[in-house]
């Protein structure tokens, strides 16, 4: 695992042109940024570089312009907002080809401590294919490369991997350093007992995660829609609940693996179900693990909440990815809420994988009580699968 990478603090940045790959993939509505968490997350690295006299050249993708300029996906609003947040001008290099005349001139004119933001890297079709031409152009602007975009670290693109082939010094920023420290160490060197909680809709999205975590954890908790495939393969009646028939064999294999390894695998022992999928459906609690054939399981039940909470209570490290039920509906959010609350009250190192669980934890108001909330959905899942992330592997080792 790639935990020991050089950071901005391990290199000389003063007077250097530093290209920083950020994750400025923020939601926009009519040109207005509706959630600026990712901009806030990028601040520590940018501020460090500015304060230490680097010439800071920022770049990022935004949405999916599919290799051509799309004005609604321009990074111009990000430049404006960053300027306000930093109290300092961020020069926007408005080039449809990203590394064009504006970018080159702006970089040429930079003094130490100044900031330039390039246009959306995915305006270039080469970006997501990691084609050398664009990687070289990006590299030609800078002396040093810093990757601080954990959310795209699992993708080998020009601005995450290709560029490192043409710049000698490539290090990580504070955001990636934090992901390595918390998410990376939790999985590789956890304080035990180590409990992982998996939920969400599908087993098929988390095949590798389940398999890898069974090699690492003391207890694996499985809830959410994916639990029904496990319950069905144990012979329970799951009605119309989510089921991946073709993953039942895999579920059995994983239960066998857990048993062989002495890992506790906890599945729901009661279920909150309803007549059908719907926000205003009345929640009904099952006695045990079976529900009536014409009903659908939408959340874990109260006994399961207790069971899962007591496992979390004994843990020293907890990693959670995926909601316990349809948390978007208040009637079926109790399971997800209970996990978030129990984790927030625990003294363990508590880590939330990105994506839906991060959104749920923030939405429920427990965000600031967790040790770490990962900023990458896909990237954090690949980390939990034990895969090497190309955008991290490409950085210089300590
Ligand atoms: P994922 O993207 O795999 O993390 O799945 C998150 C989605 O799974 C959320 O939108 C939840 O509403 C959904 N989900 C969780 N539990 C269930 C369930 N029992 N039935 C249907 N959907 C569920």
Q: For residue range 262-274, list pLDDT tens digits in order.
A: 999 999 999 999 9
**Mean pLDDT calculated for residue range 305-310:** 98
133-144 mean pLDDT: 98
If you measure from the C-alpha of residue 222 to the centroid of ligand 1, how many angstroms do you get, rounded to a whole number? Answer: 12
User: Among residues 81, 74, 319, which one has the least CA distance to residue 221?
Assistant: 319
Residues 253, 329, single domain; the answer is: yes
Cα(250) to ligand 1 centroid in Å equals 20
- Give the integer Cα–Cα distance in Å for 27 and 46: 21
Q: Which residue has the tokens 């601005």?
A: 159
pLDDT of residue 345: 96
Question: Which residues, in sequence order, are bridge partners of residue 172?
Answer: 7, 147
Q: How far is CA 274 from CA 60, 81, 122, 245, 356, in A?
A: 44, 45, 44, 21, 22
**141 with 255, same domain?**
no
Q: Let me know if residue 28 belongs to a domain.
A: yes
Residue 1 belongs to some domain of the structure: no
Is the same domain home to 155 and 211? no
Query: At residue 94, does pLDDT exceed 90?
Result: yes
- Pair 354, 264 in one domain: yes
pLDDT at 2 over 80: no
265/335 same-domain check = yes
Task: Say yes or no: CB of residue 201 within 6 Å of ligand 1.
Answer: yes
Residue 156 domain flag: yes
Residues 165 and 232 in one domain: no
If you take atom 21 of ligand 1, which residue's CA is the nearest one?
A: 225
List, by residue number, the catalytic residues.
Answer: 38, 202, 355, 378
Residue nearest to atom 16 of ligand 1 (CA): 325
Which of 177, 212, 228 corresponds to the end of one domain? 177
pLDDT digits (tens, 9 = 90+) for 221-258: 999 999 999 999 999 999 999 999 999 999 999 999 99
Cβ(322) – ligand 1 distance below 6 Å = yes
* 106-121 mean pLDDT: 98
Range of the domain at 135: 8-177
| 216 & 173 share domain | no
| Domain presence at residue 398 | no
pTM: 0.89
What's residue 54's pLDDT? 98
- 8 Å CB contact between 71 and 200: no
Whole-number pLDDT of residue 1: 53
* 343 assigned to some structural domain: yes
Instruction: Tell whether 152 and 224 lie within a shared domain.
Output: no
How does pLDDT run across 155-186, given as a tens digit for each residue? 999 999 999 999 999 999 999 999 999 988 88
Give the gyration radius of the chain's Cα atoms.
23
Query: At residue 134, does pLDDT exceed 60?
Result: yes
Percent of the chain with pLDDT strictly greater than 70:
99
> Bigger pLDDT: 211 or 354?
211
- Give me the mean pLDDT over the 94-119 stretch: 98
Q: Lowest mean pLDDT of 99-113, 297-311, 383-397, name the range.
A: 383-397
Task: Kindly report the average pLDDT of the chain as a whole number.
Answer: 95
CATH number at residue 13: 3.40.50.1260
Domain total in the chain: 2
Specify the pLDDT at position 187.
87
What proportion of the chain, given as a percentage, has pLDDT over 90?
88
- pLDDT of 356 reads 82
Instruction: Compute, in angstroms, the gap from residue 325 CA to the centroid of ligand 1.
Output: 6
**Which of 177, 207, 230 is the last residue in one of the domains?**
177
Q: Which atom of ligand 1 is nearest to the CA of 200?
A: 5
Q: Is the CB of 301 under 6 A from ligand 1?
A: no
Query: Do 255 and 356 share a domain, yes or no?
Result: yes
Q: State in Å: Cα 206 to ligand 1 middle.
A: 13
DSSP lists the bridge partners of residue 277 as none
182 within a domain of the structure (yes/no) = no
In this structure, the number of other CB atoms found within 10 A of the CB of residue 240 comes to 17
- Assess whether 226 and 375 both reside in one domain: yes
pLDDT tens digits, 323-373: 999 999 999 999 999 999 999 999 999 999 877 888 889 888 999 999 999
Inside any domain, residue 105? yes
Asked if 160 and 201 sit in the same domain, the reply is no
Encode pLDDT of 48-92 as tens digits: 999 999 999 999 999 999 999 999 999 999 999 999 999 999 999
In angstroms, the CA 184 to CA 358 distance is 17
What is the predicted pLDDT for the residue at 127?
98
Residue 3 lies in a domain: no
- pLDDT band of residue 188 (cuts 50, 70, 90) is confident
Final residue in a domain of this structure, among 150, 177, 204: 177
Whether 142 and 285 map to the same domain: the answer is no
């Amino acid at each position: 695992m790639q935990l020991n990478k050089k950071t901005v603090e391990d290199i000389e940045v003063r007077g250097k042109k530093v290209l920083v790959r950020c994750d400025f993939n923020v939601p926009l509505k009519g040109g207005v940024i509706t959630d600026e968490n990712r901009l806030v997350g990028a601040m520590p690295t940018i501020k460090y570089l500015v304060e230490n006299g680097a010439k800071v050249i920022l770049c990022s993708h935004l949405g999916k312009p599919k290799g051509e300029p799309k004005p609604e996906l321009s990074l111009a609003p990000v430049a404006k907002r960053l300027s306000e947040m930093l109290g300092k001008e961020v020069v926007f290099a408005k080039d449809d080809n990203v590394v064009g005349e504006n970018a080159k001139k702006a970089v040429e004119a930079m003094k130490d401590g100044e900031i330039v933001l390039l246009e959306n890297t995915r305006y270039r079709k080469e970006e997501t294919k990691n084609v050398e031409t664009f990687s070289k152009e990006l590299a030609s602007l800078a002396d040093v490369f810093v990757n601080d975009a954990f959310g795209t670290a699992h993708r080998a693109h020009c601005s995450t991997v290709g560029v490192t082939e043409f710049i000698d010094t490539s290090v990580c920023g504070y955001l990636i350093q934090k992901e390595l420290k918390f998410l990376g160490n939790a999985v590789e060197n956890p304080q035990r007992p180590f409990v992982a909680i998996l939920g969400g809709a599908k087993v098929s999205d988390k095949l590798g995660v389940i398999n890898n975590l069974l090699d690492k954890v003391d207890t694996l908790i499985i809830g959410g829609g994916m639990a029904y495939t496990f319950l069905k393969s144990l012979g329970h009646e799951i009605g119309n609940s989510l089921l991946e028939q073709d993953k039942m064999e895999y579920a059995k294999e994983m239960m066998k693996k857990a048993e062989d390894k002495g890992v506790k695998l906890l599945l729901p022992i009661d279920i909150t179900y309803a007549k059908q999928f719907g926000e205003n459906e009345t929640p009904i609690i099952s006695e045990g693990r079976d529900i009536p054939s014409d009903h659908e399981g939408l959340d874990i039940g109260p006994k399961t909440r207790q069971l899962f909470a007591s496992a979390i209570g004994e843990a020293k490290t907890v990693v959670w990815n995926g909601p316990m039920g349809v948390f978007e509906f208040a009637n079926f959010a109790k399971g997800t809420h209970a996990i978030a609350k129990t984790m927030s009250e625990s003294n363990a190192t508590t880590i939330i994988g990105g994506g839906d669980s991060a959104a749920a934890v923030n939405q429920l108001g427990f965000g600031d009580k967790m040790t770490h909330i990962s900023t990458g959905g896909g990237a954090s899942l690949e980390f939990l699968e034990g895969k090497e992330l190309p955008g991290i592997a490409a950085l210089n080792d300590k």
